Amino acid sequence: MAKHDKPESFVTEITPRSQDFSRWYLDVVRRAELADYSPVKGCMVIRPYGYAIWEMVQQALDKEIKRTGHVNAYFPLFIPNSLLTKEAEHVEGFSPQVAYVTHGGGEELEEKLVVRPTSEAIIGTMYASWVQSWRDLPILINQWANVVRWEKKTYPFLRTTEFLWQEGHTAHETAEEAEAETQLALDMYATLCEQILAVPVMKGQKTESEKFAGALRTYSIEALMGDGRALQAGTSHNLGQNFAKAFDITFQARDKSVQHVWGTSWGVTTRLIGAVIMVHGDDSGLVLPPAIAPYQVVIVPIGRENWRETVLPKAKALRDELVEAGIRVHIEERDERPGWKFAEWEMRGVPLRLEIGPKDIEKSQVMLARRDTREKLPTPMDGLAANVRQLLDAIQKNLLERALAFRAEHTQRAGDYEAFTAAMDGRPGFVISPWCGDADCEAQIKTETQATIRNIPFGGATPQGTCVRCEKPAVAEAWFAKSY
């Protein structure tokens, strides 16, 4: 059995990031054991180390979702096909990507069931029965769930047929409240990305051709990956009364009239893990922000053969001290060379490595090594937890600053099409240009340059002059990029 011939575990070289970004990404995903391919076309397995990151993201976001008055619930995985088709734009947008269950319990079903690509249809149906009066509003419900969208070309975390996400679905008395909710959700996402994932994002509105199928308006947060491509990191939709009308979600208003609710929906997915990898990673592998690192510190005991007797007990005492202070710690106890262990945990992106050997113990100190800057800092054991906490905070801050600087370096303006096409030759990052608001013009730009409008940032200056591509007057300053 050939598979048993290879060594049990080892750090295989990963493709340098600068050489081939896409291969580097796939190497990191596999070698850091974040995810693996599965025998199901287009579906991946999220391995424990990757899933632990997702749990960190979930915890941080779920806390905010609840703090802002939302509650979690769970709706069925299956949606009768007749419900999906009730909102015309919605079904048109999603039906090409849908998976159908046609047989169950040994029989062909009378009506085929859609495996949810998103849950507006099933949730809207329930809201119609739950809402009677304005007193029942707002409904502020979130769901953590798996969804399925058939994809031809998949990429771990970024685009898979099945993925995990949360989807908020709210119903409101007024248009103003729905708009405020849409913005609130977007703000939650932006804060999550910047404060927890250390990924800077640009908030703005999607164009008509890029908005959610069935929405009035879609807002997004857009992040810049290390290769200069943009990634849509989260979306928040103001649904207006579209779904309320399609699903008959009505209420008796304060003035006794019967009205349709105003809806929103918003979601972020496991794709955020892909963003973390592609924003912070380097040639040695993953670099994790401390806020979502399953292990914030890895302790590597160093010493001669008898390190288990001479060094390990002290390493464990330090581990306990750090854990007591609320820090997530792993001790590397395997029988491997220290160099191997260093490379292994660098590849896995642990923010801080703590090296400890017999001489350190003599001097009552340890060596701390930062993953982000690779600085090595001799640090006294006395007051260790406070120093580690401070360093973790510094790393978190540095990662965001570094990403902000990268984005600034890779954001430029282009006033005319010659400059625009020249800039888009390669992967320049964001290019800000005036745009006429015309969908055909947007489509032409995409065909000619592969660049799409990521969004129209909020609060942008009123554009002067004409569209970057055509002669029509500009209506907005749009952020263009090639994207995932």
Using CB under 8 A, list all residues that contact a second copy. 1, 3-4, 6, 8-9, 36, 38-40, 43-48, 50-52, 54-55, 71-80, 83, 95-106, 112-113, 115, 122, 125-126, 129-130, 132-133, 135-136, 141, 145-146, 148, 150-152, 161-162, 164, 250-252, 258
Closer residue to a second copy, CB minimum distance, 89 or 136? 136
Closer residue to a second copy, CB minimum distance, 264 or 449? 264
CB of 273 to a second copy, least distance (A): 12
Closer residue to a second copy, CB minimum distance, 79 or 231? 79
CB of 329 to a second copy, least distance (A): 15
Rounded distance, CA 369 to CA 288, Å? 14
Rounded distance, CA 483 to CA 244, Å? 33
Closer residue to a second copy, CB minimum distance, 92 or 440? 92
CB of 132 to a second copy, least distance (A): 6
CB of 8 to a second copy, least distance (A): 4
**DSSP code of residue 326:** T
Rounded distance, CA 126 to CA 318, Å? 53
Instruction: Write phi, then psi, for 308 (nearest 5 degrees).
Output: -65, -30
**List of residues 6+ apart from 283 with CB closer than 8 A:** 14, 16, 17, 18, 24
CB of 95 to a second copy, least distance (A): 8
Query: Angle 36-41-44 (CA atoms, 0-180°, nearest 5)?
Result: 25
Closer residue to a second copy, CB minimum distance, 129 or 390? 129
CB atoms within 10 A of CB 324: 9
CB–CB of 328/349 below 8 Å?
no
Rounded distance, CA 378 to CA 396, Å? 20
Rounded distance, CA 331 to CA 340, Å? 14
Closer residue to a second copy, CB minimum distance, 44 or 403? 44
Helix (H) or strand (E) holding 271: helix 271-280
CB of 136 to a second copy, least distance (A): 6
- The identity of residue 153, as a single letter, is K
Block residue for tokens 């007057």? 473
Q: Are strands 162-172 and 201-205 parallel, antiparallel or unpaired?
A: unpaired
Closer residue to a second copy, CB minimum distance, 116 or 203? 116
E strands in 106-229? 107-115, 139-148, 162-172, 201-205, 217-224
Rounded distance, CA 118 to CA 245, Å? 18
CB of 70 to a second copy, least distance (A): 9
CB–CB of 127/249 below 8 Å?
yes
- The identity of residue 227, as a single letter, is D
CB of 79 to a second copy, least distance (A): 7
Radius of gyration of the chain (CA): 25
Closer residue to a second copy, CB minimum distance, 103 or 304? 103
Closer residue to a second copy, CB minimum distance, 39 or 459? 39
CB of 100 to a second copy, least distance (A): 4
CB of 54 to a second copy, least distance (A): 8
**List of residues 6+ apart from 31 with CB closer than 8 A:** 11, 12, 14, 285, 347
- The identity of residue 431, as a single letter, is V
Closer residue to a second copy, CB minimum distance, 132 or 464? 132
Instruction: Write phi, then psi, for 239 (nearest 5 degrees).
Output: -85, -5
